[in-house]
Amino acid sequence: MAKITYREAVRAGLREALQNNPRVFLMGEDVGKYGGTYACSKGLLDEFGPERIRDTPLSESTFVGAGIGAALGGMRPIVEVMTVNFSLLALDQIVNNAATIRHMSGGQFSIPLIVRMATGAGRQVAAQHSHSLEGWYAHIPGITVLAPATVTDARGMLLAALQEPDPVFIFEHAYLYPLEGELDESGLPVDLTLAAIRRAGTDISLITFGGSLWKALEAADQLAHEGISAEVVDLRILRPLDISTVLTSVRKTHRAVVIDEGWRTGSFAAEVSAQIMEGAFYDLDGPVGRVCSVEVPIPYPKHLEDAALPQPEKILQAVHSLMGR
Amino acid sequence: MNTPLMPDEIRQTVLCLLGEIAPEADLTALKPGVNFRDQLDIDSMDFLNFVIMIHKAFGVEIPEADYPKYGTLNGCVEQLSDKRVT
Amino acid sequence: MAEFVMPTLGSDMTEGTLVEWKKKVGDRVVKGEIFAEVDTEKAAIEIESFHTGVVEQLLTKPGERVPVGRVMAIIREEGTQAPPTIQAAASPLPLQRISPKAPVSSLHPAPPQIAAPDTEPGRRRISPAARKLAGELGMDPAFVQGTGPGGAITLEDIQRNAQTRRQQPSTPPAFAGETGDRQTKMRQTIAAAMARSKREIPHYYLSTTIDLGRAMTWLQEENLTRPVADRLLYGVLLIKAVALALRQVPELNALWKENTAVQSPGIHVGVAISLRQGGLIAPAIHDTDKQSLGELMSRFQDIVKRARTGTLRSSELSDPTITVTSLGEQGVETVFGVIYPPQVALIGFGKVVERPWVIGKQVVSRPVVTASLSADHRATDGHRGGVFLSAVDRLLQEPGQL
């Protein structure tokens, strides 16, 4: 296994996609000459040329709409949106077109579109760049919502997304780009129907996704020192949600804490919690706990930003309170 | 007018009082010459209550030093026959 | 609004059967007044009210079996409004439902982390998984102690309870069926309390032989002055001496709660009374240290009588802070007692016997008694136990001061 950064893993996935399928192209703000805001597409312009690596104007509605059109026309576009905050400008295209055309056309047209975007906080880039709205996207039927948290998933989920006939939205937590991990070089696309158990345990299930996975794993390490065996479930596919993996885990541990960087009210954690209640109520030994972001625009100062986000200590607190310790 | 009590009357009354104190006991099998406490499940509190009942029923004063004399059915009859009901 | 719940009358009690209400709805009840009569495994007990007010609702019917802690009645305390309606649940589980409180408007849109819901009065907190397992095991969770957050019964509590039951096949479940007669039930409750005591309490034992010469002589003279109905038994001297010695060593007059010994503000000596049908009960003589010997004697007589006729009061069973037992009448020389949890000590007295005793250089015959202390080593050490026994001895050498 080779160690590479998450950013390099995304780039590797893009390169493979571009190499393997001539209909794949990448477009977005600064993806070409600048190499991508997060340097994910660095070098790709030189390698694949301006026809396939296209810089776009600062108009999310336009270039996401163009991507939908290209997909309708038989292409395999990969659209990069700089951050989830900016993707809101394209919501009309996403919700009213991308997600509905298969349904509205009676199955005659499909939109094999991939939209990638950065999400999440933790880098002191303030409230207009730091939000975690993937939970909103998971609300929309007609699209697939992915949240790769490991380098293997960053690459493998992109490749799997290229097999999908309908729009796929990939949320890359910006905090993860520089982090290194070991890449599973089997080269297999990730199965987009299964959540992943990142750490097996017996006493409590920590259920999370994206950037919070690493905080959950850190908390699980701490808990192990206290003699509490935590199982860490990486949801990684928010829609369609693999609830059966979650329920299997909760039926084993009887306790669950959901960690989600989104704001607490109406969060994706709320959905997971509700589904646990529906599917495993009689296996629960306590209420489902949630660790979410504080309900404020994500602050700029580091101490306030840290305080606003889920942290390993908050996860420990939630676990302790659930276990009566 | 003081009338001596008949031994049978005394026996009947004493057995009656014992029955109140140890209701589970079979008093027909009580040996008259043997100490109650060796035959019945009674403790010092029960015995004290028994003495108080004797005192009330027969109107006799019983100093503590005389308690042992009231320990058997025969003893009770003997002690109480000497007394007169006033 | 106050709730009248089934009280726990000693650590071995898990449930009681309501015999009768002593008050009707609308009656006024004063704190300390007898409110209900309840039949426990050990005896019929008169239960006192903990509140003063008007009886608003009686939720339990005579003949109903009620687990400890369940709300049996609602008392409207003086100066409060009429309450929301409460209905007794018809389910076999000991649940009560109370109509929800009016919603409280909040300026804070975010709910707290893992919001703990207000526990409804009379409703036991139990996790769904624990309830399910209890159901599978045929166990009534109402009788399981909850150790989870807010006292909730967790899966582990049920498992532990089930395991304890398995490990003690000779001990039938604490909640024997209707079939068990009182004898059997009493044996079971004693079994549960004593097994728990021996399982959890690291006992240590100390004993000393006390010269009762002066005490017996004093008692004889004292009794000469008393009419037959007021005479004292030497046992009350022992009880009083124990109570006064506890003032000097208050660590022994304590209850073990959540890993610490909590000293009791009052000294309420529980006196072990054997019942004619078998079994025993140890009700408290309240404020033992403050009673004169005469008062103590009449209280003692009264409590023995009521223990045997089954008319003890709830506070007498729930309040003992230490137990005294005497087995001297059975000829026993030394008692090695088992502490009654959550108390932390038990004092035993053996038979008063005439023994050779050295006073000065002379060997004389004296009446002596062996006093023994069983104490919880978590709460006290042998040194304090020794100080206590010698205090009892000293006090018995000055019977006139008792």
**How does pLDDT run across A58-69, given as a tens digit for each residue?**
999 999 999 999
Catalytic residue from among A8, A29, A129, A134: A129
CATH of the domain at A168: 3.40.50.970
Determine contact, residues C7/C47, Cβ cutoff 8 Å: yes
Distance (Å, rounded) from C-alpha A145 to C-alpha A131?
A: 16
CA–CA min distance C128, chain A (Å):
5
Provide the terminal-to-terminal Cα distance of chain C, rounded to the nearest Å: 44
| Mean pLDDT in residue range B4-33 | 84
Please judge whether B63 and C224 are an interchain contact, meaning their C-beta atoms are less than 8 angstroms apart.
yes
* Chains with 3 or more CB pairs under 8 A to chain A: C
> Residue ranges of the alpha helices (H) in A99-202?
101-104, 134-137, 151-161
pLDDT band at B58; cut points 50, 70, 90: confident
Which of these three, A145, A160, A183, is where a domain ends? A183
| Pairing label, strands C345-349, C322-326 | parallel
Domains in chain C with CATH codes: 2-81 (2.40.50.100), 128-195 (4.10.320.10), 202-401 (3.30.559.10)
Q: What is the pLDDT of residue A295?
A: 96
Mean pLDDT of A81-99: 97
Per cent of chain A over pLDDT 90 is: 95
Contact between chains at B52 and C229 (C-beta distance less than 8 A): yes
The answer to whether residue A189 sits within a structural domain is no
pLDDT of A208-223, one tens digit each? 999 999 999 999 999 9
Q: Are residues A82 and A211 in the same domain?
A: no
With respect to residue A251, please indicate whether it lies within any of the assigned structural domains: yes
**Domain carrying residue A203:** 196-323
Residue C11: the pLDDT is 64
Q: Looking at the structure, do residues A153 and A22 belong to the same domain, yes or no?
A: yes
Give whole-number Cα distances, B3 to B73, B86, C41, in Å.
Answer: 21, 8, 50
Residues A76 and A179 in one domain: yes
Average pLDDT over residues A116-131: 94
CA diameter of chain B: 38
Tell me which of C85 and A314 has the higher pLDDT: A314
How do C312-313 and C44-48 pair as beta strands? parallel
Percent of chain A clearing pLDDT 70 (strictly above): 100
Domain with B39, as residue range(s), is 3-85
Which of B48, B49, B53, B55 would you mutate first to test chain C, the one with the most C CBs within 10 A? B48
CB–CB of C231 and B64 under 8 A?
yes
Q: Are residues A139 and A16 in the same domain?
A: yes
Contact assignment for B64 to C233 by CB distance below 8 Å: no
Q: From the CB coordinates, do chains B and A have 3 or more pairs under 8 Å?
A: no
Q: How many domains does chain A have?
A: 2
- A254 and A164 inside one domain: no
Picking from C110, C132, C149, the nearest residue to A264 by CB comes out as: C110
| C114 neighbourhood in chain A, CB within 8 Å | 287, 289-290, 318, 321-322
Q: Across the interface, do C233 and B45 touch by the CB < 8 Å criterion?
A: yes
Q: In this predicted structure, what is the pLDDT of residue C258?
A: 80
pLDDT in tens, A154-173: 999 999 999 999 999 999 99
A60 is catalytic: yes
Interface mutation vs chain A, best among C119, C127, C154, most A CBs within 10 Å: C127
The SS3 call for residue A29 is coil
pLDDT at C204: 96
**Is A40 part of a structural domain of the chain?**
yes
Report the SS3 class of residue C401. helix
Residue A188 lies in a domain: no
Cβ-Cβ contacts under 8 Å for C133 (sequence gap 6 or more): C155, C158, C159, C162
Q: What is the 3-state secondary structure (H, E, C) of A197-238?
A: EEECCCCEEEEECCCHHHHHHHHHHHHHHCCCCEEEEECCEE
Place of tokens 């309240």: C286
Contact criterion met (CB < 8 Å) for C129 and A284: yes
User: What residues in C contact A318, CB-CB < 8 Å?
Assistant: 113-114
In chain C, which residue's Cα lies nearest the Cα of B54?
C228
Q: pLDDT at position C379, please?
A: 94
* Same-domain pairing of A35 and A65: yes
Separation between Cα atoms, residue C272 and residue C348, nearest integer Å? 10
| CATH classification at residue B64 | 1.10.1200.10
Task: State how far the Cα of C70 lies from the Cα of C140, in Å rounded to an integer.
Answer: 14
Q: In this complex, which of C229, C276, C305 lies closest to B24 when CB atoms are compared?
A: C276
| Shared-domain flag, residues A209 and A103 | no
- CATH code (residue A297): 3.40.50.920
Nearest to B51 among C228, C277, C305 (CB): C228
Range from A22-26, B6-10, C71-75, C87-91 that averages highest in pLDDT = A22-26
* Domain count along chain B: 1
Residues of chain C contacting residue A286, judged by C-beta atoms under 8 Å apart: 127, 148-149, 152, 154
The number of residues in chain A equals 325
Q: How near does any CA of chain C get to the CA of A27, in Å?
A: 39
Average confidence (pLDDT) over A104-114: 96
Asked whether the bond before A240 is cis by omega within 30 degrees of 0, the reply is yes
Tell which residue, A125, A260, A244, has the closest CA to residue A206.
A260
Q: What is the mean pLDDT of each run of 10 residues along chain C (402 residues)?
A: 79 79 87 85 81 86 83 78 43 37 40 45 77 82 80 86 63 41 77 88 95 94 90 94 96 91 93 83 93 93 85 85 91 93 94 92 94 95 95 94 90
Question: Shortest CA distance to A81 belongs to which of A27, A35, A133?
Answer: A27
Mean pLDDT of all residues belonging to chain A:
96
Q: Could you say which residues from 156 to 175 on chain C have a Cβ atom under 8 Å away from some Cβ of chain A?
A: 156
* Domain identity same for A168 and A213: no
> Which of A143, A172, A118 lies closest to A67, judged by CA?
A143
C228 vs B23, B45, B62: nearest CB: B62
CA distance A322 to chain C (A): 7
Decide which of A183, A204, A230 is a domain's last residue: A183
- Torsion, Cα A163 A168 A169 A172, to 10 degrees, reads -10
Domain boundary among A133, A161, A183: A183
Q: What is the pLDDT of residue A64?
A: 98
Q: pLDDT digits over A232-281, tens only?
A: 999 999 999 999 999 999 999 999 999 999 999 999 999 999 999 999 99
Contact between chains at C277 and B24 (C-beta distance less than 8 A): yes
A109 falls within a domain: yes
Q: Mean pLDDT check: name the lowest of A8-22, A301-315, C288-302, C305-319.
A: C305-319
In a domain, A191, yes or no: no
Q: What is the pLDDT of residue C166?
A: 61
Q: Are residues A81 and A200 in the same domain?
A: no
Q: Indicate if A175 and A201 belong to the same structural domain.
A: no
A11 part of a folded domain: yes
pTM, full prediction: 0.51
C-beta neighbour count of A50 within 10 angstroms: 10
CB contact under 8 A, A265 and C110: yes
User: On the CB side of C40, how many CA atoms lie within 13 Å of its CA?
Assistant: 33
ipTM for the complex shown: 0.77
- Cα–Cα distances (Å) from B62 to A101, C232, C298, in that order, read 111, 14, 19
